[in-house]
Amino acid sequence: MEHATWLENYFARVEQSCDEGRGAVEYIRSQGTKVGIKKARKRVGAFFTLTRRIYLNAHHYTYESSLESPHAWTLLIHETCHLKQGVVVALSIYGELEAWQTEFRVFQKISGKPLKPILNELLAMPLTMNRATLRRARQIMLEHAGKGYGAEWLPLYPIDKEIKYWVTRKESQPDNQLQNQ
């Protein structure tokens, strides 16, 4: 299958899956984001790059399998969430928590399949700058995806707020300041 044909079919599947999928594809198209399939660490389902590209991991997906996999569709929504957050927020546990919650809420909605109890715990967490909550979110991510996922390397807060925390030892407030950064 040619890349252009696959991409249009993949976008159609994601768009038809749910409102969040339609919004993700609309955002990707409006930003001119390139989407493809490329090998990465095995623990990663998909990833974005600093050049604002999104790739599904070739260890897990092919052109054909990605068209039939609701998980492949929700991974696009997850990575689009990161592009909307911007790199500073995306490369933090706070940013991952938001993307994971979005991904698994949508997966549950479109697949109708129950989630593992540990993922239900993650979905029940508030999206907050509370360090204990973010530490637990990191732990859940590592339990679910494994150490090769990379969450162990990310700061809890976006790096600018993490540095401020290490200097002042005060948790970031208020939570809504991170929206639309």
pLDDT tens string 102-161 = 999 999 999 999 999 999 999 999 999 999 999 999 999 999 998 888 899 999 999 999
Same domain for 59 and 116, yes or no, is: no
Burial class (CB in 10 A: 0-12, 13-18, 19+), 124: exposed
Q: How far apart are CA 139 and CA 153, in angstroms?
A: 12
Provide the terminal-to-terminal Cα distance of the chain, rounded to the nearest Å. 38
Domain count, the chain: 2
Identify the domain containing residue 37 by its residue range.
3-86
Please check whether residues 94 and 82 belong to one and the same domain.
no
Q: Could you give the percent of the chain with pLDDT greater than 70?
A: 95
| 33 shares its domain with 100 | no
Q: What CATH number has the domain bearing residue 21?
A: 3.30.2010
Pair (118, 100) in one structural domain: yes
Residues 94 and 151 in one domain: yes
User: According to the model, what pLDDT value does residue 176 have?
Assistant: 53
Same domain, 108 and 136: yes
